[in-house]
Structure 1
Amino acid sequence: MSQYSGKICFYEGRCFTGRCLEVYGDCDNFQDRGFMNRVNSIRVESGAWICYDHPDFKGQQYILERGEYPEFQRWNSHNDHMGSCRPIRMHGEQYRMELFEGCNYTGQCMELCDDCPFLQSRGFNTNCVNSVRVFGDGAWVMYEEPNFRGRMYIVERGNYCGHNEWQAQNPHIQSIRRIVNYF
């Protein structure tokens, strides 16, 4: 198993009942594998995953780490729609990122190396993050609300010069945490 793979099982019914789709890597469209887009429970056996409510890695993002999710509310969804998924690209255990108030790495800058439940408590003067640089090995989840709540967006190693590059509808980010991968 490579460092980018894992195993996740999607079930049509609640509490791991009904038809099951096992995935070991990128899956851009559940229907292409004969599985409808209705998912009511998920078991993550290894790895950390980004799941999307539409095919082709589009739409609302959900981060799922090792464990059991017997109903869709457990992964903070409002419905049972799921269309694609992929493992999170984990490279190791070094975490570092820079947040910028403005697009193209302008304005106030803040560096993070650990989880932050409320950016303003660390001196970031706004709730707008318009660009991000992710260094090191780890991936991060950015949340629209404090205390790791609200819409979530996953960023991995790389440069993101605008919030649309992490598929956000707006630049509002108020808390950020590291994704710790458990194989």
Structure 2
Amino acid sequence: MILVNNNSSGLERYCHCFYITFTIVFYEGRCFTGRRLEVYGDCDNFQDRGFMNRVNSVRVESGAWICFDHPDFKGQQYILERGEYPEFQRWNSHNDHMGSCRPVRMHGEHYRMQLFEGCNYTGQCMDLCDDCPFLQSRGFNTNCVNSVRVYIHTPDSFNYYRITVQRSEHTSCSASLTTLVTDAL
């Protein structure tokens, strides 16, 4: 099974897909109309990016976000998860003010990921617990990853999630993620 097409940047790009990415889009108008501001990380002041503090609709494309009604991460907080919020009442706000945001990151938790060359967790295996921009530099000598286990450390043990990637054609790395099936074990 090929997870990235041959003209992509290879396995390091596949590995990058498993890092959590964050994207949120703010709109001045209701129902996703008007000027928009796309944010991928911490944004302490919307006005610094040329966007007024009036937000009437939000589309969270990935990740979870903490949004604040004032700049510098101050004021009323709103937790927005992936989805569409066509008007400010949908995130329980009393007005259309929003001035800053940041993604919800999981500080203090430990992760480990195992990549397997073969299906059903067979073949060459590589453990990752930090960023790895180029898998071959760590001795993973294959051009294909067919199964992945993600371990999440909880206070009492390591729990793991089995991720199975179904065979299909993927036009981009993010498209591959939509076909992931995760089973908690």
TM-score, with length taken from structure 2: 0.48
Q: TM-score, normalised by structure 1?
A: 0.49
**Bigger fraction of residues in helix:** 2
Please say which structure displays the higher CA radius of gyration.
2
